Amino acid sequence: MPPRILNPDNPGVLDQAVRAIQSAEAVAVPTETVYGLAANAYSDAGVGQIYQIKGRPQFNPLIVHVADPDDADRLVDLSPEARTLIKAFWPGPLTLVAPLKLGHGISPIVLAGNATLAIRCPDAPVIQALIRQSGAPLAAPSANSSGSLSPTTADHVASSLAEWDGLVLDGGPCRVGLESTIVDVSRRSAVLLRPGGVSVEALEALVGPLESELLSDQPKAPGQLKSHYAPRASLRLNVTHPEPDEAYLAFGPFDGDHHKVVNLSPGGDLVEAATNLFAALNALDNDSERIAVGPIPTDGLGAAINDRLLRAATKKS
Ligand code: TXA
Ligand code: MG
Protein backbone atom coordinates (compact mmCIF):
# COMPACT_ATOMS: atom_id res chain seq x y z
CA MET A 1 0.00 0.00 0.00
CA PRO A 2 1.25 3.50 -0.82
CA PRO A 3 1.48 6.15 1.94
CA ARG A 4 -1.69 8.01 2.99
CA ILE A 5 -1.45 11.79 2.55
CA LEU A 6 -3.56 13.58 5.19
CA ASN A 7 -4.13 17.24 6.06
CA PRO A 8 -3.01 17.87 9.66
CA ASP A 9 -5.58 20.68 9.97
CA ASN A 10 -8.40 18.14 9.72
CA PRO A 11 -9.78 16.83 13.01
CA GLY A 12 -8.01 13.80 14.44
CA VAL A 13 -5.14 13.75 11.92
CA LEU A 14 -2.45 15.20 14.18
CA ASP A 15 -3.63 12.90 17.02
CA GLN A 16 -3.26 9.94 14.68
CA ALA A 17 0.31 11.02 13.88
CA VAL A 18 1.11 11.47 17.59
CA ARG A 19 -0.21 7.97 18.34
CA ALA A 20 1.95 6.56 15.52
CA ILE A 21 5.07 8.28 16.93
CA GLN A 22 4.23 7.00 20.42
CA SER A 23 3.81 3.46 19.04
CA ALA A 24 7.33 3.55 17.56
CA GLU A 25 6.17 4.13 13.98
CA ALA A 26 7.59 6.65 11.53
CA VAL A 27 5.55 9.59 10.16
CA ALA A 28 6.45 11.86 7.24
CA VAL A 29 6.19 15.49 8.26
CA PRO A 30 6.85 18.85 6.56
CA THR A 31 9.62 21.06 7.94
CA GLU A 32 10.57 24.48 6.55
CA THR A 33 13.48 22.86 4.66
CA VAL A 34 12.26 19.53 3.21
CA TYR A 35 9.86 16.78 4.33
CA GLY A 36 11.32 14.57 7.07
CA LEU A 37 10.64 10.92 7.97
CA ALA A 38 10.28 11.27 11.73
CA ALA A 39 10.37 8.87 14.68
CA ASN A 40 10.81 9.13 18.45
CA ALA A 41 14.56 9.72 18.90
CA TYR A 42 14.51 7.77 22.19
CA SER A 43 13.00 4.67 20.59
CA ASP A 44 15.25 2.05 18.97
CA ALA A 45 12.24 0.43 17.30
CA GLY A 46 10.94 3.76 15.98
CA VAL A 47 14.25 4.92 14.60
CA GLY A 48 14.98 1.46 13.20
CA GLN A 49 11.90 1.90 10.98
CA ILE A 50 13.40 5.00 9.38
CA TYR A 51 16.44 3.12 8.13
CA GLN A 52 14.26 0.31 6.82
CA ILE A 53 11.80 2.57 5.01
CA LYS A 54 14.54 4.68 3.38
CA GLY A 55 16.91 1.80 2.65
CA ARG A 56 19.54 3.99 4.34
CA PRO A 57 23.04 2.65 5.06
CA GLN A 58 23.28 1.91 8.78
CA PHE A 59 26.34 4.09 9.34
CA ASN A 60 24.54 7.35 8.63
CA PRO A 61 23.59 9.26 11.78
CA LEU A 62 20.31 11.22 11.93
CA ILE A 63 19.40 14.81 12.83
CA VAL A 64 17.31 15.19 16.01
CA HIS A 65 14.60 17.89 16.02
CA VAL A 66 13.49 19.75 19.15
CA ALA A 67 10.56 22.18 19.49
CA ASP A 68 12.26 24.71 21.74
CA PRO A 69 15.90 25.93 21.66
CA ASP A 70 16.09 25.29 25.43
CA ASP A 71 15.44 21.57 24.86
CA ALA A 72 18.87 21.26 23.22
CA ASP A 73 20.55 21.91 26.57
CA ARG A 74 19.29 18.59 27.93
CA LEU A 75 20.92 16.66 25.11
CA VAL A 76 24.18 18.40 24.16
CA ASP A 77 26.90 20.68 25.52
CA LEU A 78 26.78 24.06 23.81
CA SER A 79 29.81 26.30 23.37
CA PRO A 80 29.40 30.10 23.48
CA GLU A 81 29.72 30.08 19.68
CA ALA A 82 26.91 27.50 19.43
CA ARG A 83 24.71 29.65 21.66
CA THR A 84 25.33 32.69 19.46
CA LEU A 85 24.20 30.74 16.40
CA ILE A 86 21.17 29.33 18.20
CA LYS A 87 20.09 32.77 19.33
CA ALA A 88 20.30 34.10 15.80
CA PHE A 89 18.95 31.20 13.73
CA TRP A 90 16.67 28.96 15.85
CA PRO A 91 14.00 28.07 15.17
CA GLY A 92 15.12 27.77 11.55
CA PRO A 93 17.15 25.86 8.95
CA LEU A 94 20.44 25.41 10.89
CA THR A 95 21.72 22.09 12.32
CA LEU A 96 24.50 22.05 14.92
CA VAL A 97 26.75 19.08 15.64
CA ALA A 98 27.61 19.19 19.36
CA PRO A 99 29.00 16.83 22.03
CA LEU A 100 26.37 14.62 23.70
CA LYS A 101 25.62 15.03 27.39
CA LEU A 102 25.75 12.10 29.77
CA GLY A 103 22.31 10.49 30.20
CA HIS A 104 20.97 11.96 26.95
CA GLY A 105 18.78 8.90 26.26
CA ILE A 106 18.98 9.19 22.45
CA SER A 107 18.81 5.83 20.66
CA PRO A 108 22.26 4.53 19.64
CA ILE A 109 20.76 3.91 16.19
CA VAL A 110 20.39 7.70 15.75
CA LEU A 111 24.01 8.27 16.69
CA ALA A 112 25.54 5.50 14.57
CA GLY A 113 28.60 5.44 16.81
CA ASN A 114 29.15 9.20 17.10
CA ALA A 115 29.82 10.96 20.42
CA THR A 116 28.22 14.05 18.93
CA LEU A 117 24.59 14.77 18.03
CA ALA A 118 23.27 16.71 15.03
CA ILE A 119 20.42 18.79 16.41
CA ARG A 120 18.09 21.45 15.09
CA CYS A 121 14.95 23.38 16.02
CA PRO A 122 12.67 23.66 12.96
CA ASP A 123 10.18 26.54 12.64
CA ALA A 124 7.48 24.88 10.51
CA PRO A 125 4.21 24.62 12.47
CA VAL A 126 3.37 20.97 11.67
CA ILE A 127 6.64 19.48 12.95
CA GLN A 128 6.57 21.92 15.88
CA ALA A 129 3.12 20.58 16.86
CA LEU A 130 4.14 16.95 16.31
CA ILE A 131 7.22 17.27 18.56
CA ARG A 132 5.31 19.08 21.31
CA GLN A 133 2.35 16.69 21.35
CA SER A 134 4.49 13.55 21.08
CA GLY A 135 6.56 14.74 24.04
CA ALA A 136 9.83 13.51 22.53
CA PRO A 137 12.54 14.86 20.24
CA LEU A 138 12.10 13.49 16.73
CA ALA A 139 14.88 11.97 14.67
CA ALA A 140 14.27 12.69 11.00
CA PRO A 141 16.23 12.40 7.77
CA SER A 142 14.72 13.69 4.54
CA ALA A 143 11.67 11.57 3.61
CA ASN A 144 12.99 10.10 0.36
CA SER A 145 14.45 6.72 -0.49
CA SER A 146 18.20 6.80 0.16
CA GLY A 147 20.19 8.52 -2.59
CA SER A 148 17.28 10.19 -4.40
CA LEU A 149 16.13 13.82 -4.45
CA SER A 150 14.86 15.40 -1.23
CA PRO A 151 11.07 15.86 -1.12
CA THR A 152 9.56 19.35 -0.84
CA THR A 153 5.90 18.30 -1.21
CA ALA A 154 3.75 15.48 0.21
CA ASP A 155 3.43 14.03 -3.31
CA HIS A 156 7.24 13.79 -3.64
CA VAL A 157 7.30 11.76 -0.42
CA ALA A 158 4.54 9.44 -1.63
CA SER A 159 6.25 8.77 -4.96
CA SER A 160 9.72 8.29 -3.45
CA LEU A 161 8.49 5.97 -0.66
CA ALA A 162 5.77 4.31 -2.76
CA GLU A 163 5.91 0.92 -0.99
CA TRP A 164 5.57 2.35 2.51
CA ASP A 165 2.05 2.21 4.00
CA GLY A 166 2.64 5.08 6.43
CA LEU A 167 1.20 8.52 7.10
CA VAL A 168 2.35 11.69 5.29
CA LEU A 169 1.22 14.95 6.89
CA ASP A 170 0.60 17.46 4.09
CA GLY A 171 1.82 20.96 4.92
CA GLY A 172 2.06 22.14 1.31
CA PRO A 173 5.39 23.00 -0.36
CA CYS A 174 8.34 23.63 2.01
CA ARG A 175 9.24 27.29 2.51
CA VAL A 176 13.03 26.96 2.17
CA GLY A 177 13.19 23.94 -0.15
CA LEU A 178 16.82 23.00 0.66
CA GLU A 179 18.06 21.01 3.64
CA SER A 180 19.43 22.78 6.71
CA THR A 181 22.96 24.14 6.88
CA ILE A 182 25.08 21.86 9.12
CA VAL A 183 27.82 23.37 11.31
CA ASP A 184 30.04 21.29 13.59
CA VAL A 185 30.48 23.21 16.86
CA SER A 186 32.06 20.30 18.75
CA ARG A 187 35.62 21.28 17.80
CA ARG A 188 37.84 24.19 18.67
CA SER A 189 36.47 26.27 15.84
CA ALA A 190 33.23 25.90 13.92
CA VAL A 191 33.30 23.85 10.71
CA LEU A 192 30.77 23.94 7.87
CA LEU A 193 29.72 20.37 6.97
CA ARG A 194 26.85 21.13 4.56
CA PRO A 195 25.73 24.41 2.97
CA GLY A 196 21.94 24.84 3.23
CA GLY A 197 19.04 27.06 4.22
CA VAL A 198 21.13 29.54 6.24
CA SER A 199 23.80 31.19 4.09
CA VAL A 200 27.48 30.97 5.01
CA GLU A 201 27.66 34.78 4.85
CA ALA A 202 24.97 35.06 7.55
CA LEU A 203 26.83 32.59 9.79
CA GLU A 204 30.23 34.21 9.27
CA ALA A 205 28.83 37.66 10.07
CA LEU A 206 28.31 36.35 13.61
CA VAL A 207 31.15 33.89 14.29
CA GLY A 208 33.83 34.87 11.79
CA PRO A 209 35.30 32.76 8.97
CA LEU A 210 34.20 29.10 8.97
CA GLU A 211 36.41 26.22 8.01
CA SER A 212 34.72 23.87 5.59
CA GLU A 213 34.88 20.08 5.29
CA LEU A 214 32.43 19.35 2.54
CA LEU A 215 34.36 16.88 0.48
CA SER A 216 36.13 14.70 3.01
CA ASP A 217 36.97 11.10 2.04
CA GLN A 218 35.56 9.90 5.33
CA PRO A 219 32.23 11.65 5.10
CA LYS A 220 30.67 12.84 8.33
CA ALA A 221 27.52 13.63 6.40
CA PRO A 222 26.27 11.50 3.48
CA GLY A 223 25.41 14.73 1.73
CA GLN A 224 29.20 14.70 1.41
CA LEU A 225 29.07 11.63 -0.82
CA LYS A 226 29.21 13.40 -4.15
CA SER A 227 26.31 11.56 -5.78
CA HIS A 228 23.85 11.86 -2.88
CA TYR A 229 21.15 13.85 -4.69
CA ALA A 230 20.76 11.74 -7.77
CA PRO A 231 18.05 12.24 -10.40
CA ARG A 232 17.63 9.62 -13.12
CA ALA A 233 18.38 12.07 -15.94
CA SER A 234 21.91 13.28 -16.69
CA LEU A 235 22.73 16.86 -15.72
CA ARG A 236 25.00 19.38 -17.45
CA LEU A 237 25.84 22.51 -15.46
CA ASN A 238 26.58 26.17 -16.34
CA VAL A 239 24.92 25.91 -19.73
CA THR A 240 23.78 29.12 -21.44
CA HIS A 241 22.70 27.47 -24.71
CA PRO A 242 20.91 24.14 -24.13
CA GLU A 243 21.00 21.53 -26.89
CA PRO A 244 17.74 20.67 -28.68
CA ASP A 245 17.24 17.35 -26.85
CA GLU A 246 17.91 18.83 -23.41
CA ALA A 247 15.35 20.19 -20.98
CA TYR A 248 16.57 23.52 -19.57
CA LEU A 249 16.63 24.52 -15.91
CA ALA A 250 17.07 28.28 -16.07
CA PHE A 251 17.85 30.98 -13.54
CA GLY A 252 17.15 34.65 -14.17
CA PRO A 253 15.81 36.16 -17.40
CA PHE A 254 15.77 33.60 -20.24
CA ASP A 255 14.02 34.46 -23.49
CA GLY A 256 15.73 31.85 -25.66
CA ASP A 257 13.49 29.82 -27.94
CA HIS A 258 13.61 26.37 -26.30
CA HIS A 259 10.96 23.64 -26.13
CA LYS A 260 11.21 22.76 -22.45
CA VAL A 261 12.23 25.36 -19.87
CA VAL A 262 11.65 25.46 -16.13
CA ASN A 263 12.87 28.70 -14.56
CA LEU A 264 13.98 28.56 -10.90
CA SER A 265 13.52 32.31 -10.59
CA PRO A 266 12.92 34.51 -13.66
CA GLY A 267 13.73 37.56 -11.50
CA GLY A 268 17.08 36.08 -10.40
CA ASP A 269 16.16 35.67 -6.71
CA LEU A 270 18.31 32.97 -5.01
CA VAL A 271 15.86 32.42 -2.14
CA GLU A 272 13.05 31.74 -4.61
CA ALA A 273 15.37 29.50 -6.64
CA ALA A 274 16.25 27.43 -3.53
CA THR A 275 12.56 26.94 -2.74
CA ASN A 276 11.88 25.69 -6.27
CA LEU A 277 15.04 23.60 -6.85
CA PHE A 278 14.02 20.05 -5.87
CA ALA A 279 10.48 20.37 -7.24
CA ALA A 280 11.90 21.60 -10.57
CA LEU A 281 14.48 18.78 -10.73
CA ASN A 282 11.78 16.25 -9.86
CA ALA A 283 9.48 17.57 -12.59
CA LEU A 284 12.19 17.61 -15.30
CA ASP A 285 13.55 14.25 -14.17
CA ASN A 286 10.15 12.64 -14.78
CA ASP A 287 10.06 13.45 -18.49
CA SER A 288 13.59 14.21 -19.69
CA GLU A 289 16.70 12.10 -20.24
CA ARG A 290 19.04 15.07 -20.25
CA ILE A 291 18.83 18.29 -18.29
CA ALA A 292 20.98 21.39 -18.91
CA VAL A 293 21.24 23.86 -16.04
CA GLY A 294 21.93 27.57 -16.42
CA PRO A 295 24.68 29.36 -14.45
CA ILE A 296 23.67 30.24 -10.89
CA PRO A 297 25.62 32.72 -8.72
CA THR A 298 27.48 31.22 -5.75
CA ASP A 299 26.75 33.84 -3.10
CA GLY A 300 24.07 33.49 -0.39
CA LEU A 301 21.83 30.45 -0.92
CA GLY A 302 23.51 30.04 -4.32
CA ALA A 303 26.31 28.11 -2.56
CA ALA A 304 23.86 25.45 -1.36
CA ILE A 305 22.01 25.37 -4.70
CA ASN A 306 25.28 24.82 -6.61
CA ASP A 307 26.34 22.19 -4.06
CA ARG A 308 23.12 20.17 -4.63
CA LEU A 309 23.37 20.56 -8.42
CA LEU A 310 26.98 19.38 -8.47
CA ARG A 311 26.04 16.28 -6.48
CA ALA A 312 23.01 15.67 -8.72
CA ALA A 313 25.29 15.92 -11.78
CA THR A 314 27.72 13.32 -10.42
CA LYS A 315 26.47 9.94 -11.55
CA LYS A 316 26.36 7.12 -9.02
CA SER A 317 29.12 4.58 -9.51
O1 TXA B 1 16.83 20.14 6.64
C2 TXA B 1 17.25 19.07 7.08
O3 TXA B 1 18.32 18.99 7.69
C4 TXA B 1 16.37 17.83 6.86
C5 TXA B 1 15.07 18.00 7.62
C6 TXA B 1 14.20 16.77 7.57
O7 TXA B 1 15.36 18.36 8.96
N8 TXA B 1 17.06 16.65 7.28
C9 TXA B 1 18.10 16.12 6.59
O10 TXA B 1 18.54 14.94 7.13
O11 TXA B 1 18.58 16.63 5.61
P12 TXA B 1 19.50 13.95 6.36
O13 TXA B 1 19.53 12.71 7.18
O14 TXA B 1 19.05 13.77 4.96
O15 TXA B 1 20.88 14.64 6.47
C16 TXA B 1 21.49 14.83 7.74
C17 TXA B 1 22.96 14.88 7.64
C18 TXA B 1 23.50 13.56 7.17
O19 TXA B 1 24.38 13.85 6.11
C20 TXA B 1 24.22 13.00 8.38
O21 TXA B 1 25.32 12.22 8.05
C22 TXA B 1 24.63 14.26 9.09
O23 TXA B 1 23.53 15.12 8.93
N24 TXA B 1 24.87 14.01 10.51
C25 TXA B 1 24.02 13.51 11.40
N26 TXA B 1 24.61 13.38 12.61
C27 TXA B 1 25.88 13.82 12.47
C28 TXA B 1 27.01 13.94 13.36
N29 TXA B 1 26.93 13.57 14.63
N30 TXA B 1 28.15 14.44 12.84
C31 TXA B 1 28.22 14.83 11.56
N32 TXA B 1 27.20 14.74 10.67
C33 TXA B 1 26.04 14.23 11.13
MG1 MG C 1 18.74 13.36 2.76
202-211 contact pairs (CB < 8 A, 24+): 202/88, 202/89, 203/85, 203/89, 203/94, 206/84, 206/85, 206/88, 207/81, 207/84, 207/85, 210/183
The residue type of 272 is: E
**pLDDT per residue as tens digits for the range 243-280:** 999 999 999 999 888 989 999 999 999 999 999 999 89
Beta-bridge partner residues of 99? 116
The answer, yes or no, to whether residue 317 has pLDDT greater than 60, is no
The answer, yes or no, to whether residue 157 has pLDDT greater than 80, is yes
Q: 146 CB under 6 A from ligand 1?
A: no
Which ligand has the nearest atom to the CA of 141?
1
Give the model's confidence band at 218: pLDDT under 50 very low, under 70 low, under 90 confident, else very high: very low
CA–CA dist 316, 236 (Å, integer): 15
Q: 249 CB under 6 A from ligand 1?
A: no
Q: How far is the CA of 185 from the centre of ligand 1 (A)?
A: 14
Q: How far is the CA of 226 from the centre of ligand 2 (A)?
A: 13
In this structure, the number of other CB atoms found within 10 A of the CB of residue 100 comes to 18
Residue nearest to atom 17 of ligand 1 (CA): 221
Q: DSSP character for 3?
A: P
Section 189-210 average pLDDT: 96
Which ligand has the nearest atom to the CA of 61?
1
The closest-lying atom of ligand 1 relative to the alpha carbon of residue 117 is: 29
Q: What is the mean pLDDT of the chain?
A: 92
The closest-lying atom of ligand 1 relative to the alpha carbon of residue 65 is: 7
Q: 222 CB under 6 A from ligand 1?
A: yes
Q: 63 CB under 6 A from ligand 1?
A: yes
- Where is 132: in which H helix or E strand? helix 125-134
Q: 91 CB under 6 A from ligand 1?
A: no
CA–CA dist 39, 35 (Å, integer): 13
**pLDDT per residue as tens digits for the range 35-58:** 999 999 999 999 999 998 998 877
The answer, yes or no, to whether residue 197 has pLDDT greater than 90, is yes
pTM assigned to the model: 0.89
Q: Do residues 106 and 113 make contact, with C-beta atoms less than 8 angstroms apart? A: no
Which ligand has the nearest atom to the CA of 194?
1
Q: 97 CB under 6 A from ligand 1?
A: yes
The answer, yes or no, to whether residue 225 has pLDDT greater than 90, is no
Site to probe by mutation for ligand 1, drawn from 32, 142, 156 as the one with most ligand atoms within 8 Å of Cβ, is 142
Buried-state track 306-317, b at ≥16 Cβ within 10 A, e below 16 = bbbbebbbeeee
Residue nearest to atom 10 of ligand 1 (CA): 141
Q: 76 CB under 6 A from ligand 1?
A: no
Question: In this predicted structure, what is the pLDDT of residue 223?
Answer: 53
Site to probe by mutation for ligand 1, drawn from 130, 179, 229, 311 as the one with most ligand atoms within 8 Å of Cβ, is 179
Residue nearest to atom 33 of ligand 1 (CA): 221
Question: In this predicted structure, what is the pLDDT of residue 229?
Answer: 64
Residue nearest to atom 21 of ligand 1 (CA): 221
